[in-house]
Structure 1
Amino acid sequence: ILDMPPKVLDMEHYTYNFEQAVCMQQAMDDDIKIQIIIGKAGTGKTHIAMAAALEKVFKERKYDSIKLIKPVITKSRLGEDIGFLPGSVKRKLLPKMRPFVEKLRMFTKDGSEESYKKLIDSGVIELLNLADIRGADLANSFVIFDEAQNANPFQMRTLGTRLGEDTKLIVLGDPTQIDSVYLDKFSNALIYLYENALQNPTPFLAHICLVQMVRSHTSQWFEKNFQPGR
């Protein structure tokens, strides 16, 4: 179904700089069960996480499935309630998972909508609402938790306590892009987890901060100079 990504250290296809190469090594290391990737938009967080997940599930067969989790914030209020939106949970979450869908299309043979939807419909790649994580089966899965800065520490704990020995978790986020009015740069799940990782180091947990943007020069200009409210 997929054109498999090249080997992990193939810099031409996988990574653009040294910090991304280190990040990819952590993502591909089976002894690292939890990885925290902090970085602004354009530093390659989603690309690395998705490429590693596809490699581990479809090429190495290390895990049975990929679970994509993201706090969903509606227009009407900040939170994770998506109940009023039409369609199934999977259909509701699909637009919110657009960065992952685009990466998935990048790795499919023809890049068509049908190719990546087959993977989602088959259940091999599953989109999960953070609010429903209590009933989710995360066994033998490669789990990617995106935008953790928009979740609270209690939600992070709920997710973390459902991980098994055969599960890998990659937590992504940018602490400068907090959308919830109930969270700040200190109280969000991403920073709370990162600080706990620093205070309680363990061999199965790794963390890295990506700082070098690999997007266009125009994108970098906006990131550097366009700061509303500053």
Structure 2
Amino acid sequence: MKTQSDRAREVLLDAAEELFARNGIDAVSNRRIVEHAGAANHSAIAYHFGGRDGLLRALVARHQSEMIERRRELMAGLSTEPNIHELVTCRLRPLIELLDSLPRPSWRAQFMSQMAAVPSAVEIAKEVIGDAGVPDELRFINCGVNGIPAGVLRGRAYLLGSMVVGVCADQEAKMNDDANKGSWEQVGRFLIDAASGMLGAPVTDPDGAVRYPNVPLI
């Protein structure tokens, strides 16, 4: 059973996620978040989260336990020698199912997109998520893609992270505006197919990979 403090914390998280999603991480002050949440105490973020970074960490960590558990369930159903598509499905489907479960309007994907645009926020995401809850078999760098250099896979993982977050943010915004009649199921199938194809695509220049670290938001 949630306490009054738990409920106040959730209201602040909801308010922050929406404002960050709509305006950007650096454009929203703590005071504005508190006011949007309807709280009277302007030090509520410091009280509940220890400060701005603590708030961002809590937002990134939100829903992670559910996705980790769902990922384990999907992995339990894999064959002894799963293909790339099956492994990518285990990695991405929990995110798609989460986004589909949120009430409308929702702000999760758009928040993640804003996080990815701010270097300091990306560092916080790395601290919170990293590879926690993602077994070696499901890390994009280890997706069982034979013959593809590690540097190329690492570059493709970076592109995939940006692609997934960007597409999901765009879809969420359209759904909020009732401008897109598609479903998260359709979006998920498209992204999983695209990610699987990109990981296993032919390599024409082993040394020409994009050299960026993966943004750990998926």
With normalisation by structure 1, the TM-score equals 0.23
**Structure with the largest fraction of strand:** 1
Q: Which has the larger radius of gyration?
A: 2
Q: Which has the higher contact order (CA 8 A, sep 6+)?
A: 1
Comparing both structures, which one devotes a greater share of its residues to helix?
2
